[in-house]
Amino acid sequence: MENHFDKRLDPTLLVDGAKSVISLSYNYFPKEHQVADSYKISKYAYGQDYHHVIKDKLRELLQSINDEIGEVSGRCFVDSAPVLERAWATRAGLGWNGKHSLLIQKQQGSFFFLAELILDLELDYDHPFTTDHCGSCTKCIDACPTDAILPNNTVDGSKCISYLTIELRDAIPTSFTDKTADWMFGCDICQDVCPWNRFSKPHAEPLFSPNHELLQMLSQTGRN
């Protein structure tokens, strides 16, 4: 997060003459889930690479804006550039940051991607989301097997199972050997226990549909 910090704070360093950030969310909650006793992967990875899927849609939206009102300069961002996605989403009124640090929406939960269009076009702006609806709930904190969720709505990345199974270039430290709970790519524990995700509805994106062989993949425990 320290890399290109100036660009995270100033969108004009990413798009010349930038005047607006359009923040969008895109549901990825699946209709089908992995079988019990499976080696687990995060639900966001069930289908095709979301970076490509969503960026193509953003390009279509940007083209539609140009077709409708004339030439507008802008760039599309999907978790691949120095953009403070949750901060912009909160300022755009999309939701609030839960204790697990993810953005939550009342009617959708947290199983969605965030993306942005930064444009040199001035718009009528939405109001920031200022209310935290997590209250005294600590289900995500209590459920995290590695104690990665901190009291201040942040996550200790060095303890997070998603970091350990995706970003970490070395072997997972032995202190976490019995705490990864068969997660082999990412982790959804904090989202699975969140009460707001009872409102999650299956997505309608064919490119996010899972391979059935993936859903049926059993762990060694499941085979025994």
**Which residue in this structure is represented by tokens 């760039």?**
75
Give the Cβ contact number of residue 62 at 10 Å: 18
Catalytic residue among 37, 56, 79, 132: 79
Where would I find the H helices in 103-218? 139-143, 161-162, 189-192, 212-215
Rounded-to-5 percentages of helix, strand, coil across the chain: 35, 15, 55
Q: How far apart (Å, rounded) are the C-alpha atoms in residues 42 and 186?
A: 5
Q: How far apart (Å, rounded) are the C-alpha atoms in residues 93 and 125?
A: 10
Active-site residue flag, 178: no
Q: The tokens of 134 are what?
A: 């997590």
Spatial CA neighbour of 23 closest among 107, 115, 125, 113: 115
Report the chain's terminal Cα–Cα distance, integer Å. Answer: 43
Q: How far apart (Å, rounded) are the C-alpha atoms in residues 36 and 47?
A: 19
Catalytic residues: 79
